[in-house]
Each structure stands twice: as C-alpha cells, then as structure tokens.
Structure 1
Amino acid sequence: MDAQSSGDAGLTLDAGGAFTVGGLGAVLIEGLLSQSLVDLVVLDTDLRIVQAELRVPGPVKLSAEAIVGYRFTEVMEFTDPAREVTVSRAVLTSGTPALDRLVGVYVAGELRIHSVSIFRLEDPGGRVIGLARTRVDVTEREKARDRLALLSTVRERVGRTLDIATTCQELVDTVTLRTTELTGAPEVVGSQTVRFADIAGVELVEGVVRGDDPPIAPVDPHVALRHVASVGSTAYMEAHPLCEVRALPGETSYGLVLSDREARLLTLTPDALWSTETRASTEALIADQAHSLILAPLSVHGAVLGLLYFCRRGGAEPFDDEDVVLASEMAAHVALCIDNARRYTRERVVATTMQRRALPREPVAQTAVATAYLNLPGRRAGYWFDTIALPGARIALVVGDVAGKGVQAATAMGQLRTVVQTLAALDLDPEELMERLDDTVTYLDQERAALPHSDPVQREALRACCVYAVFDPIAGTCTICRADHPGPVIAHPDGRIESPDIPEGPPLGSTDKSQFATCTFEASENTVFALQTGSLLSDDEIAWGVLSSELRHPERPLRDLADAIVHALPEHHRPNAALLLARASSFPEDSVRTWDLPSRFEAASTARDLARGQLAEWGFGPETSFSAEVIVGELVTNAVRYGAPPVRLRIIRDRGLTYEVYDSSSAAPHLRHAGPTDEGGRGLFIVSQMTDQWGARFTDQGKIIWAEQGLEASV
C-alpha cells in the first residue's frame, strides 16, 4: 500500500508493513536507541512484533530480525504473560500510556526486573496502527531500593521499646515482610513477592538477657546463647525452641562469628552440619528447603551481645555480598537497641529488687485490724505501701508513690518509707506527719538540684504523693490525711460503697505550701478500706467500677477480695500498682481499762493500786505487776506535778501492755539524766529503762504520755 506520513513525528508505515521514522521523530528515536540498555519493540494491533531494537542482554535469545512476526509474549518469559497482554490491549483501546511498570522476566532461570513503558501508535489520520514498548533492566536499582527501604524500616520499627525480647521480635518480623510492605510501591507484576529472609532469628548471650554486661570479643568458645526470637520455620523451632540455651563451639561458623565479629554467607548443604550442637537445627533448615544462610554478629563497642541468622529457602534467590552488607548494618542497629534495652533491664532489675526488699514481706498482725496487700509489679519502682503498729492498739495504713522510674525512684521511695516509719514512731498526728514528710521531700529535692549539671538526676524534680490513715479500734474512728493522692474506697458492712470527701493536700515537695488537713469518721466493725496507688485509678471509670463491684461483698477473706479485684480488671488495664486492704474490727472490751484520777499527789498511789489489781485480774505475775506499778506511778506523778487536771489512766492489753496517762496540759515532757546529787528528774528515765518504748501524742484538749511494756520482757 502507499506510504503514509505522520507529519512532524516522521512515522511512516510502508507498503511492507514496516515502520520508518524521519525528521524530529527520527532524532528522538535515534536518541532513545543510542542508550545501550534500552530495548524498543514495535507491535502491530495483533501484538505481533513488526520491528525491534534489542539492547538489553539476555531476555530475548533470538536476533531482532528473527523475532519479527512473533507475539511479544512468545519471545520473552514473563512471570505473568496474560497480564502483559491485558495491559497492552488496554493501551491500544484507551490510548493512555502505561509508564514505568515493573515487570518480572526470567532470564536463564533468574528473575529480572524490567521497567516497561507502552505507548499507542497512530497514523496521521488517527488510525491505531500498533504499540511501542520500551524496556530497561532495573533489577539492581530495585534491589538497592529494597535494601535501603528495609534498612530504613528496621531503624524505624525496631527498638521502639526498651524490652529485649520485644526488640528481637520486631527485627525478625520486619525482615520477613514482603518487599511491597516495606516500600509501599506496587509489586513487580507477576513476580513472587520478595522477602529479605524467609526464616530469621536472634540468639543472645545468656547474661545479656538478664541485663549483665556482654563479654568482650573474642568470647569464650563455650559461651551460652539463648534463642530469643524466631519466625518462618516450624521445623527449626521444634529443633531449637525459643528460650533454649546452647553453647556454640568456637570452631563452628556460629562461634567464629562471635569471635571475629564478621558476618558470614553460607550455603546450606547436607554436609554443612558444623557440630553436634547445631546438627539438629541445621537438618531442620535443610528439610525446610533452606539453602542460603547469613550469620551476623550483634556487637557494640567490642562487646558481643549475640548473633542474627537469616535464611532463604525454596525458589528464593540466594543471598549475595550486598545482602551481607545489609545484614551487618541491620545488626549494628539492633545491637545498639538491645544494648540500650539491656542497660534499662539491668536498671529495672536493680530498681525492682530495691523496691521488693524495701516493701513489707507480710502484713503486720493486729488485734483489731486484718490487712492484705497486692503488689502488681511493672516498670515503676517508686510506689510503696505499709502497715505500721502504733501505740494504743492503733494501726497506720500508708500508700505512697514517687514520680519517675528506675533506681532513683526506688531510692527515693526507700528514703520516704523510712521517714514515714520514723515519724509514725513519734506518734505524730497525720497532718503533722505529712507536713514533716513534705519538708523531707523538699530537702531531698534540693539535694538533687545541687548535683552537677552532667548528672541527669539533677534535671528531675523530686515529687511524691501519699495517703496516711490511722485507725483507732478502741475509739472506732479513722483519721486520714492525703497529699495529691486518691483517698480510700470504703466498703461498709451493709454493702454501701463510698469515697469520703477528704481534703486534698498539695504534692509532696511542690512549691505549693498549702496546709494539710485531715478527715475523721467512724469506722464500724467489718468496714473494709481499699487504699491504692494512683496508677490503679489511671482510668477512674474502669477502676471505680471494679472496686465498687467487688467491694460490695466485703465479707470475703481479704486475700480473696484482693485477687478478685485484680482478676476483674481488664488485662490491658493492669498497671504496676499497689492495693492495700484493711478490715476493721472492734477491740475486745475486757482488754482495756480506763480510770479518772484525782489531781493530787496521792493519785500516783491510787494508780499503782489500780494497775496491780487489773494485772492480777488479767493473770499477770508479780514481776509484771511490779514493773507496771513503777511505770504508772512515775507517769501519773509527772502528770500531776507538771500537767493540768483532769488526769486519766488507761491500760491496754494488746501485743504488750500499754500504759497511757492523759492530762489537759500541752507541755511536752523531756527525758532528763539527773546528776548524782539531784533529788528528782529520774521519772521518765526510769520509765524508758523498764519499757520497750515510750512517747507522747497531743490531742485537741491536752496530751497523752504512753509507755509500752513487752509481754516477753515482763515475764
């Protein structure tokens, strides 16, 4: 037929059906074909090749002239030829070019990736006459892009927590992702989606998992490694389960990697069973069609943390040297993350150990109060709880929390717990105790601020919160003071649940120096108090709902009640927190006696007679009775001489014998060491020598001087 011109493009379809170019089109086509790695194939509307310029080596075995007349899918081995036909026909129909498509092509059995663009060809009259397909081999470019994407993803996803096991699992999950999940780009058309590894795992030096310092390379040839994470092969996991510990002899490839800290690329064959220790696991890999293995060391600052292993199996392309470089770069990042997690683990172990040693082992047995506590451990080590026996059969319930984490929080917690116990021994009122505790926190905070600027603790202000409750079973009351801490939840015997309105004080150590206030209310028999750290109530609605529901049955044993509260919390809402439960009961009436005394010096004689008679009624012998008479006589004498009426004597039989003398004066007594010629001043000294402890506490109307005599010491 007659030749037709395409105008400026210079495209001509001659009578023989061949395309020729001229003018500007010739320049463009010639420039395109001058690129040594660009193929150009021209197809007719039946997708048969009418002209070709082949520059890409390998995909087409025949010459450009020999393939004319063939369909293009007949001369190249596409991974999905039907897809290529569909796309080509779509371009013929719509005229919309398909640009830079990634297409898989097999060359001598090896998968190559080509960038293919397809354009529709029209004659000057607008009639569709065929397609032009260009092809560029971009296999190495795509591999490099995938490697960079994987390394970027590893750096982004691995090490997001300070948990060693989680960090290792993040790595093995990431390296076994498909390429398209890493890059977000369209996958190669028709190809098997590529993964960096089909099987991956991490083995760490046993001590590193516990937070110990890693050994310096070269390591002992029999160092024990723990299998921490693995994915991709059930057979391998059965042969070498997670958490299994094994030693890898130095003459094996595993041992050499740990010694010289150099990654290795190995081919897995049946005779690649390097030692007895690795035989079963290697056989499992080979049985799972694994054929290519990379071992990469985990090393930081010359110390060895463990190693990574990556395997490819089945029809996957074997690893190459570039993959070894990538594995080493990933290992360097993971090693740093694991080392950070190891340091944190060690600090957390130290902190939690300090906290565990500081917290009470068992509840203190009390006559009128039953207690139980539950410690929900976690990463925070700054909270504490306590039950403290006070004179007069009373008991103090304490829950506190220091802001922050780690060793510093645990250290501050131990200091504050000791301070609370010391102040409680002074028998201070709750609000006064809280004031002095606040002064202590302020002082410790100033010590922190005076540290060198290089010390990170210097930049962490010390803040704490606390709730302090004193239950008096004889009076049937409970007095509570709190500093930026949630108050207790109270379950009454009739099933009523309430959270009393207790004035909230400022955080301990803050610049807000508002006064602390207390709230006193009746605590009838079988009332249950639930004190908890604030973290338990981080979600008020959930925690309040659980506490309210479970405390409606306060008659259950306290241990069962505490367990039920924890089990009722949603699994995702089980913070590390403390829960302290206390059940009030009445004090035995026959174990306490109270007498009003005259405000005259003969009151001491009367008090001695009363004490002697009461102890005889309780069955105590002469020695105990003699000690009681001396103690009571001296206390009453001081009250009459230096105090103010009325004077009242109370004797309590509990863990020991407690003697209390009340008078309405607020003057505090002082222990004196009288000289040889002094006629007086030995009263309180005698009391201190004959009792386990003595002290004074103040009331709104006066003071009480008390002394405790242990029963064992009095027998």
Structure 2
Amino acid sequence: MYDVMFHDAFGDHPQPGDEAYAVLDAQGALTNWGTGAQRLLGYTPDEVRGRHGSDLLYSAADASRLVERCQETETPILERAVLRHRDGSRIEVGLLAHRLASTDGRMQWLIRAETADVLRRRNFGRALLRGLFTESPFLIDVFDTRLRFVAQNDVQRQAAGFVDKDFSGRTMREVAPAGLLDMTAFEERQRQVLVTGEAMVATEVHGRVPDDPDRDHVWSETIVPLRSDSGEVIGLTHAVFDVTERVRARERLALVNDASAAIGSTLDVLHTAQELTDVAVPLFADHAYVDLLDPVFRGEEPVAGPVAGDAALRRAASSSIPGGPAETVVATGDIDSFTSAPGSPFARALASGKSVLLTGEEVLAELTHVDPRRAALARGYGVHSWLLVPMSARGAVLGAVAFVRIKRTYSFEADDILLAEEFVARAAVCIDNARRYTQERSTALALQRSLLPQRLPVLNAVEVASRYLPADGHSVLGGAWFDVIPLSGARVALVAGDVVGNGLHSAVTMGRLRTAVRTLADLDLSPDELLTHLDDQVSRLSDERVDKPVIGAAGSTCVYAVFDPVTRRCAIARAGHPPPARVSTDGRVEFLELPGSGSPLGHGGAPFECGEVTLTEGELLVLCSDGLEQPTGTGHAWLREALSDSHLTTSIWLDGVCDTVIRHLPSPRPQDDLALLVARVHGLAPDRVITWELAAEPEMVGEARVLATQKLSEWGLQELEFTTELIISELVTNAIRYGSPPIQLRLIRDRSLICEVTDASSTSPHIRRALETDEGGRGLFMVSQFAQLWGTRYHARGKTIWAEQPLV
C-alpha cells in the first residue's frame, strides 16, 4: 500500500533518460537499448537489437526467474542478477521490469538495471518508507503549505476516528473527530513552522479521542519543515506519539513525591492525616478522608495483625474539592459507624489488608445497606468510584483512607490503586511516628510531672501557684523544678532549681535533687547549710557516674528560701540560680540582692551565703528556673517587665500572675523547660503566737502546763488540753534536766497547734523503747504517739524541740 501511496504522492515512476535500460517485446527480444545500458555492458544498440534478453544474463536461472516474475506481476523486481559484459566479465545489478503497452496493443517490458550501490540505496529508501509509513508506531502526516493532507501512514489511518476517511487534499480541521485537538492552536503551530522554517520538537498537546472521551490524552508532537532542492519550504511532516501513559506515570510519580514532601511535616497525628487528604485532593480524588483506629487516634499502641470487623474507627481528617461534599457526615474525632458495620468495606479491608475498589452502583449499594443518609448524599453528589486503602505500619494496622471521585467521569484504575497504596504507606509511617512521638511525649510529660509536686500544700504562711512548661525542642524532658515544703514552727521553704541539659537523665537527676532537698529540709537546716549538704550530694552523684562525658548533676542551680510567718523574715541562699523577684503591694518589682551568687552545685568554690529580708503582708515572691534567662543576660529585665504588667497587682489571683508571666514569654522561647513558682506571703497574727520564758527549775513544769491550759481556753481548744499538758510536761522536763538556760516555751496556733521548747543546749533527746523495769524513758515515746509530727531544729543559740497536733 505504501508503494502506491508514496508513488502517487511524489510521482516516482521511471523516466527515460541517460540510464541503463532496455525494452523487450512479448517474446523477450531486445527492441531498444539505452546509452546507459551501452556504458554498463559495452554493447551498441545494433549489436543487441533482436537478441533475446536472456542472452545477456550470466545465469540461466536468472533468466527463468525473470520470465516467471514478469508473468506474475505488472512491475516485477528481480532484486539481484548477474549480467554478461561484452568482454565476458560479470556485473552484478538489480533489475526492475515495468509493463508497457505499445500503440498497436502489443505488450512490452521496460527493464532497468541498477548497480549494487544504487540498489542498496534504493533498498534502504524502500525500507525507510516501509518503516515510517507501515511499521512505525508514530502517527506521521504530510501536509502541503496550505495545511492540506498530502500523505499519512497506516497508524494514522487506523487511529480512532480516522478510519475510512478520505484525507487527501483536506485539512486536519475538516477530517479530525470533534474534540480531538484545539484546532486553532494546532494550525497556529503549523503556520509558525512554515514561516520560521524551524522545526517544533516534542510539543505536548492534549485532547480527547472517541474511544475514551472522558479523559485527556497526551501526544508528543514534532513538526518538521520539508524543503525543496532550492531550500524552499514546500510542506510539513508531523510525527506524533501517544505519551498518555508516560505522562500519567509522571503525574503519579510527582504525586508520590509531593506526598513525601508534604506529609509528615509535624509530629502530630491529626495534622499528618490532614496533610494526606490535602495532597490527594484535587490531584488524585475529589474527596478523601482518613479514619484511624481508636487507640491510634488517642496515641496508644495499635493492634498488631488483622483487625476485627467491629473495630471502631474515628475520623481524623477530610478534604474535598469546591462544590464537593460540604456536609460532613462524620465530624473529626467522631466514630464512623460505617466502618464497624458487619461486612462493610472497612471491615473487609482491615481484615484482609487489601484495598477495596467500588465503582458505579456498588458504591450506593454498600452505603444504602449501612447508612441510608450517607447513600442519599453520595447519590446527590454523583459519587461513582470509591477506593478504600488500609493503612498499616510496622506490622500494625492504623486505620484506612477512602478516596472518592465525583466530578472525574472516569473511575479509579489498577494503577491508581498502586499509587494510592504507595502514598498511604508513606503517610502511615509518618502517622505511626507521630503516634509514637505523642505516646512518648505523654509518657515523658507524665514522668516529668510525677517528679514535680502533684499538689501544692495549703498553708497560712503563703499562697502559692506554679507553672511548668516543657521544652519546645524534640526532648520534652528537662531538669527545671520547684517545690513548696512545710517546715516546723509554721514556716515554709520555697525552692526552685534547674538541672543542666534536657532528656531523661536530666529529669531523673532533677527528681533525685528534689528528694535530697526534701530530706535535708526535714533536718531544719538553714538555707546556706542545706545548699552545702546538697552540693556534697551532687559531687557524690557525679563521682558515681561512669559515663563522664555525659552531663550529670554538676552545674545544676538552686535557690532555697525559708519564710517565717511569725517574724515575716525570709532567709534565702542560692547556688548559681537567679535571685527571687519581689513584687511589693504597690506594684514595684525588685530582684533581691543576696550576699554572693553561689557557684552551681558540684562546682565547688566559695561557700554559700545566706541573706535575710523582711517581707510585708501580701507581697509576692517569684522564683523561676534558668530557662527564663536569655543568652544575652536580659532575663532579669524581661521578667521585671512581665511582673510590672499594668494588669498585674499583688491582689490578683496567683494563677493570673502565672498566666501573665507566661504570656510575656520571649519569642522564640529558649530551648529549655521552664519552672515558675509565685508565692504571696502572710504573717501570722500576734494573737496566734505566745511565748513564755521559763526558769530552769523543776517546779516550772507545772506552771508551764497551767499557762498553756489558760491559752488553749482562750483559743477555744479545750479538747487539746490533756495531750498538750502531756507534751509540754515532757519537753519542758527534758529541757530543764538535760538542756541549758535560757528556756522558752512557745505555742503557735496555725493550721495545727504547735508546741515548741527552746534551750541553749545543742544536745538532742532521742526516743527509745523503755524496759518494764525502767522508771523513765517513756516521755518522748508518748509525745510521738500523741503528736502528729515532732522533731528538733538547731540554731545559733541552741535547739528547739517541737510537736504538732492537728486541730480537731
């Protein structure tokens, strides 16, 4: 077919001229001999005229084959033959025979001889034409300068919409199926090549074909100008190749790449799920949503292996195109009832671990069976394709993702399933990472908070409020801490500290330091003594470590303040920690000036010093961790500004003070956790404290009982008279017998009744179990039985033995 087409197009018939040809009559006799034949074989026309043509063939077999081919076809081709030169030599040629009709009706043959080189070039040319116009997968068209078809190959003729159409002399606009291409743009490209003479290579064009009218097809189009021997553009040739699948594969790869880049930007389960649906819509689906198993939604461990059909799934995220399902059937966080219905696609997908594809009426049938309202919405929106992909990571099922097509008239295909499974699998890893992070963060925060005070004590001496903020970085565990410790004599210790670094080790070290401070506080040590003992403890902790490069407790900071509501004196010492801030009742803010700064714990150096300050009723004392200190050393200025806020007064609710301080946090926040403790101090009213000086004489024991009984009557605490007399008798007797004057008895009515006996001796009585034969030794034992708490504290002038009784 290509022969006739190409010959008709370009007029490639043999023409007489200076070439090797001869004419044979019907009997095979030579009647004409060209000059080219004479040059080829050396015979003159007179020498060969009348001779049989076979006489010039070297082989009789070639002669018989030529006769047979001439009888079979009008244009026989004897591709190779050997001719006899006049001098007897052999000449290999290719012979072509063309049937001729003479004027008298007799049949003749025009024989052309081509040398081996010419024959080889002709064969290559014919093979080229065959490859392009018969066997090429490209669509090839040839147009003239008026954009009319001159020729086209078999692929173009067989293309959908072009079969059985007459192309010759017509433009593409006239013969192409409706909607195939943007014809105006197509002809503009043709004219551009005609005008510029420059080829337009590999242009991607989009269109629709009759066999698949619902989706775009993509072709790679190359337009090349055809030139005459003079260089004039006399036509165009188009080479077009369908690259639809290649483009779709490229788009799928781009979607996977976009998913990889967009999904997992945060370690938040719901945000990651939303990123997945945002990537899918609108490039892949018109509507998409993610349902996660209830444990995964809460950040807990997922179920390993297949999931039961009645497993509850919660909506984690959804996205839709404009004009899509605007009405949300399931709100974020709610359980999707469709997922746990018996035999639902969700149940099948989660049990099998394989994707489920529903098309056409299958979608409505599945929905109607479980949720008629949802089925009505699907019918109203025109849902026609629904793809469900189970989501799993590390061998555990997390949930499922549903993709819905509405406006796209074509349904999901096998390649779409593979694509969806690919980026769902990537999203599953990100969601599982976010879940693990959430779980680890929750565990870490629970550990952190368990190491901090769970509930601050309610005391008359101070009102307290606190805040703890985890670090902003990846490590949520830190070493910032605070504490409020009730002490004897209605006093209270306020503590804040910070361990160097972040992570589990810092949190554990913080817990050990807090425990150590509480233990030392029970000894009623002065602040500077307590820090000295704590410094020794930190040094021992550092010596115990074998992984020396890891930062330990050394370098930790601490501030320890003891407030006495009777005297309103506050004794403070610090170890490398910022000094407390004092907010007066008129709103003035100052940072207490304390003797020395104190080296951080475990660093040694100068001894710790204690400073004292008298606080006014209602003033605030603010202790904070080092996290609030800025690298430039402007932390004090920043905190001063926060505490000087015009909305903050000393009468404000203390939680409001904490909120105000946190609201003023600098941005960006330091990558460290923060601990904040705010205390409003209250002095003890004078009528709630009474002190007696006692002579070191035995008869003073009875007088002390009488004095105490009278005071208890004034306070309305008659029910405590018996136990108080017993406690005072024992404590005063011990002070007279074993202590040194001066001796002092003090009663404090706070949240409990406190009895204190002070003497100048540093010796302390010890409780023991007396034998049946012993006359004494049972006094302190009885005190421990009747008192809620009792103990001894030492000071510069001796010691104080105290006992507390709960107020009935």
Separation in structure 2 between the aligned mates of residue 263 and residue 555 of structure 1, nearest angstrom: 63
Deviation larger for 535-544 or 52-61: 535-544
CA shift in 2, pair 1:82/1:381, >3 Å? farther
Q: Give 1:658's aligned residue.
A: 754
2:621 maps to which of 515, 518, 529: 529
> 2:701, 2:729 within 8 Å by CA — same for their partners in 1?
no
Q: After TM superposition, give the deviation of residue 335 of structure 1 in Å.
A: 2.9
- Structure 2 unaligned regions, length at least 5: 1-8, 13-120
Q: Does 1:368 align with 2:461?
A: yes
Separation in structure 2 between the aligned mates of residue 704 and residue 460 of structure 1, nearest angstrom: 40
Amino acid of the residue matched to residue 790 of structure 2?
Answer: W
Q: Give 1:111's aligned residue.
A: 216
Separation in structure 2 between the aligned mates of residue 54 and residue 696 of structure 1, nearest angstrom: 111
1:221 maps to which of 309, 312, 320: 309
Q: Give 1:190's aligned residue.
A: none
Q: Give 1:210's aligned residue.
A: 298
Q: After TM superposition, give the deviation of residue 422 of structure 1 in Å.
A: 3.6
Separation in structure 2 between the aligned mates of residue 212 and residue 111 of structure 1, nearest angstrom: 45
Q: Give 2:115's aligned residue.
A: none
SS in 1 for 2:366: coil
Separation in structure 2 between the aligned mates of residue 366 and residue 155 of structure 1, nearest angstrom: 56
Q: Give 2:28's aligned residue.
A: none
Q: After TM superposition, give the deviation of residue 554 of structure 1 in Å.
A: 2.2
CA shift in 2, pair 1:367/1:95, >3 Å? farther
Alignment of 1:303-322 (within 5 A): 303-315=396-408, 317-322=410-415
Q: Give 2:328's aligned residue.
A: 238
Instruction: Please list the CA deviations of residues 199-233 of structure 1 after superposition, one character each: whole Å capped at 9, or x if unmatched.
Output: 11111122222234433554322221111111116
Q: Does 1:291 align with 2:384?
A: yes
Q: Give 2:801's aligned residue.
A: 706
Separation in structure 1 between the aligned mates of residue 499 and residue 168 of structure 2, nearest angstrom: 81
Q: Give 1:101's aligned residue.
A: 203
Separation in structure 2 between the aligned mates of residue 161 and residue 471 of structure 1, nearest angstrom: 46
Q: After TM superposition, give the deviation of residue 242 of structure 1 in Å.
A: 2.3
Separation in structure 1 between the aligned mates of residue 278 and residue 138 of structure 2, nearest angstrom: 38
Deviation larger for 159-168 or 599-608: 599-608
Separation in structure 1 between the aligned mates of residue 674 and residue 327 of structure 2, nearest angstrom: 36
Amino acid of the residue matched to residue 58 of structure 1?
Answer: A
Instruction: Please list the CA deviations of residues 253-291 of structure 1 after superposition, one character each: whole Å capped at 9, or x if unmatched.
Output: 221111111112220426423454344334423422332
Q: Give 2:137's aligned residue.
A: 37
Q: After TM superposition, give the deviation of residue 323 of structure 1 in Å.
A: 1.5
Separation in structure 2 between the aligned mates of residue 538 and residue 73 of structure 1, nearest angstrom: 78
Separation in structure 2 between the aligned mates of residue 96 and residue 505 of structure 1, nearest angstrom: 84
> 1:67, 1:75 within 8 Å by CA — same for their partners in 2?
no
Q: After TM superposition, give the deviation of residue 328 of structure 1 in Å.
A: 2.2
Length, aligned pairs only: 667
> 1:252, 1:275 within 8 Å by CA — same for their partners in 2?
no
Amino acid of the residue matched to residue 636 of structure 1?
Answer: A
Alignment of 1:280-359 (within 5 A): 280-300=373-393, 302-315=395-408, 317-353=410-446
Q: Does 1:623 align with 2:722?
A: yes
Instruction: Please list the CA deviations of residues 321-363 of structure 1 after superposition, one character each: whole Å capped at 9, or x if unmatched.
Output: 1221222233333333333333343444444455666665654
Separation in structure 2 between the aligned mates of residue 685 and residue 470 of structure 1, nearest angstrom: 30
Deviation larger for 687-696 or 254-263: 687-696
Instruction: Please list the CA deviations of residues 408-457 of structure 1 after superposition, one character each: whole Å capped at 9, or x if unmatched.
Output: 8777766655554443333233344455556667777888969xxxxxxx
Q: After TM superposition, give the deviation of residue 625 of structure 1 in Å.
A: 4.7
> 1:291, 1:314 within 8 Å by CA — same for their partners in 2?
no
Q: Give 2:108's aligned residue.
A: none
Separation in structure 2 between the aligned mates of residue 559 and residue 467 of structure 1, nearest angstrom: 22
Q: Does 1:142 align with 2:229?
A: no
SS in 2 for 1:337: helix
The TM-score with structure 2 as length reference comes to 0.69
Instruction: Please list the CA deviations of residues 639-683 of structure 1 after superposition, one character each: whole Å capped at 9, or x if unmatched.
Output: xx456x665554322122334445566666655556667787666
Separation in structure 1 between the aligned mates of residue 197 and residue 593 of structure 2, nearest angstrom: 78
Instruction: Please list the CA deviations of residues 588-647 of structure 1 after superposition, one character each: whole Å capped at 9, or x if unmatched.
Output: 122223455667888877766665565455454342551353144045337xx456x665
Larger Rg: 2
Separation in structure 1 between the aligned mates of residue 605 and residue 189 of structure 2, nearest angstrom: 77
> 1:230, 1:237 within 8 Å by CA — same for their partners in 2?
no
Q: Give 1:553's aligned residue.
A: 649
Alignment of 1:472-511 (within 5 A): 472-481=564-573, 487-500=579-592
Alignment of 1:390-405 (within 5 A): 390-399=487-496
Q: Does 1:428 align with 2:525?
A: yes
Separation in structure 2 between the aligned mates of residue 665 and residue 364 of structure 1, nearest angstrom: 33
Amino acid of the residue matched to residue 496 of structure 1?
Answer: R
CA shift in 2, pair 1:297/1:481, >3 Å? farther
Deviation larger for 324-333 or 211-220: 211-220
Alignment of 1:273-284 (within 5 A): 273-274=366-367, 276-284=369-377
Q: Give 1:7's aligned residue.
A: none
Q: After TM superposition, give the deviation of residue 467 of structure 1 in Å.
A: 4.5
Q: Give 2:279's aligned residue.
A: 174
Q: How well do the aligned residues superpose, as a CA RMSD in angstroms? A: 4.8
CA shift in 2, pair 1:66/1:128, >3 Å? closer
Amino acid of the residue matched to residue 348 of structure 2?
Answer: L
1:58 maps to which of 143, 153, 159: 159
Amino acid of the residue matched to residue 402 of structure 2?
Answer: Y
CA shift in 2, pair 1:631/1:370, >3 Å? farther
- Structure 1 unaligned regions, length at least 5: 1-12, 17-21, 178-194, 451-457
SS in 2 for 1:705: strand
Amino acid of the residue matched to residue 587 of structure 1?
Answer: L
CA shift in 2, pair 1:368/1:29, >3 Å? farther
CA shift in 2, pair 1:634/1:600, >3 Å? closer
Deviation larger for 269-278 or 122-131: 122-131
Deviation larger for 105-114 or 672-681: 672-681
Q: After TM superposition, give the deviation of residue 366 of structure 1 in Å.
A: 2.0
1:691 maps to which of 787, 793, 799: 787
Separation in structure 2 between the aligned mates of residue 314 and residue 706 of structure 1, nearest angstrom: 86
Separation in structure 1 between the aligned mates of residue 197 and residue 623 of structure 2, nearest angstrom: 75
1:75 maps to which of 163, 166, 176: 176
Amino acid of the residue matched to residue 313 of structure 2?
Answer: L
SS in 2 for 1:392: helix
Amino acid of the residue matched to residue 224 of structure 1?
Answer: A
SS in 2 for 1:396: strand
Amino acid of the residue matched to residue 66 of structure 1?
Answer: F
> 2:368, 2:375 within 8 Å by CA — same for their partners in 1?
no
SS in 1 for 2:398: strand
Separation in structure 2 between the aligned mates of residue 507 and residue 27 of structure 1, nearest angstrom: 95
CA shift in 2, pair 1:398/1:113, >3 Å? farther
Deviation larger for 406-415 or 514-523: 406-415
> 1:490, 1:529 within 8 Å by CA — same for their partners in 2?
yes
SS in 2 for 1:155: helix
SS in 1 for 2:303: coil
Deviation larger for 122-131 or 517-526: 122-131
Alignment of 1:632-643 (within 5 A): 632-634=731-733, 636-637=735-736, 641=738
Q: After TM superposition, give the deviation of residue 710 of structure 1 in Å.
A: 1.0
Amino acid of the residue matched to residue 268 of structure 2?
Answer: D
Separation in structure 2 between the aligned mates of residue 680 and residue 63 of structure 1, nearest angstrom: 129
CA shift in 2, pair 1:631/1:45, >3 Å? farther
Separation in structure 1 between the aligned mates of residue 585 and residue 427 of structure 2, nearest angstrom: 57
Amino acid of the residue matched to residue 427 of structure 1?
Answer: D
CA shift in 2, pair 1:271/1:691, >3 Å? closer
